[in-house]
Amino acid sequence: MKKLAVVAFGGNALLQGNEVGTIEQQEKHTFDTCEQLIGLIKNGYNIIITHGNGPQVGNILLRNEAGWKEYKIPKMPLDICVADSQGGIGYMIERQMRNVLAKHKIRKNVITLITEVLVDIKDPAFDNPTKPIGPFYLKEEADLLAKANKWIFKEDPRKRGWRKVVASPKPIDILNKRVIGSLARKGNIVIAVGGGGVPVYKHKDKHLEAIEAVIDKDRASALLAKEIKADSFYIITDVPKVYINFNTKQQKALNKLNVKRARYYLSKGEFAAGSMQPKIEASLDFVENGGREAVITNTESLPKKNCGTRIVKES
């Protein structure tokens, strides 16, 4: 029986930080990243691809604003913007994955699924929105938008302006998880949980409603991997391994971490809250709930046999 891996593409897998985000740039990075998955496929893995959407959904929100100002095109809510990004990015990954498969003479179907993710309306994250989305504004602009739309803005730590912030609740269920798992186990490459999924919640009568929030992509991907009983969970980021004492003279790469050691480093604040910490926490959630291993690495290292930092329950 083939093994099953969930592979979470980070933002840099599609777009580099110093680029403007043309389709040519994104397609090149997408092709290059998909190329690195061939090793997993040849090693007997069926794969599910998840992905981030930060820059792309930010651009969609900008188009929202520009269309309203110039042509009075009605703005779409955040859940529709996230779904739009899932469709666009999923299509791009799907097409480039097909191109890579053709190059290697591998026959597989590739399918993209718009994915809703269930959250709890009582999640405490809704009381303290922290996730920035969309463009930067001047303080005066932010104040006007906040008053007109009941939005919340916070100043960027790097003093680049003010940005709208929304809640980032914990994902509690992946809708269509069984379909995703079934398709993947039959040998199809499935692209799902884009941008962490579209957050929805249930009323008492089971009616589903969207809510303005964003879900951490790695947490949602780990939940999917856990629920479908994947063997491995890969998080693709911009560093080859996890480090302690990062960016200091004492920096040290970690080849393997067990749960106890990972939690120790978390307690010591070794992993930055906005970058590596959620990746470590997502990895722990996976391996503590039946997963064989989680791997954090970059695109270039992925084809190597013992790439990245491997997180396991015990070592």
Active site residues: 11-12, 131, 217, 279
C-alpha distances (whole Å) from 126 to each of 53, 129, 136, 155 are 21, 6, 22, 19
Q: What is the dihedral of CA 99, 101, 106, 111, to 10 degrees?
A: -100
Contact predicate 130/143, CB 8 Å: no
Paired sense of beta strands 131-137 and 232-237, if any: unpaired
* First vs last C-alpha separation in the chain: 25
User: How far, in Å, CA of 236 to CA of 13, rounded?
Assistant: 7
Residue (of 200, 224, 221) closest to 117 by Cα position: 200
* Structure-block tokens of residue 72: 């009075």
Coil/strand/helix, residue 111: strand
Residue 218 sits at the vertex; the CA angle it makes with 51 and 170, to the nearest 5 degrees, is 120
Residue that is written with structure tokens 């070592």 in the block: 315
User: How far, in Å, CA of 295 to CA of 271, rounded?
Assistant: 16
Coil/strand/helix, residue 106: coil
* Structure-block tokens of residue 28: 């090149």
Residue that is written with structure tokens 């947490």 in the block: 219
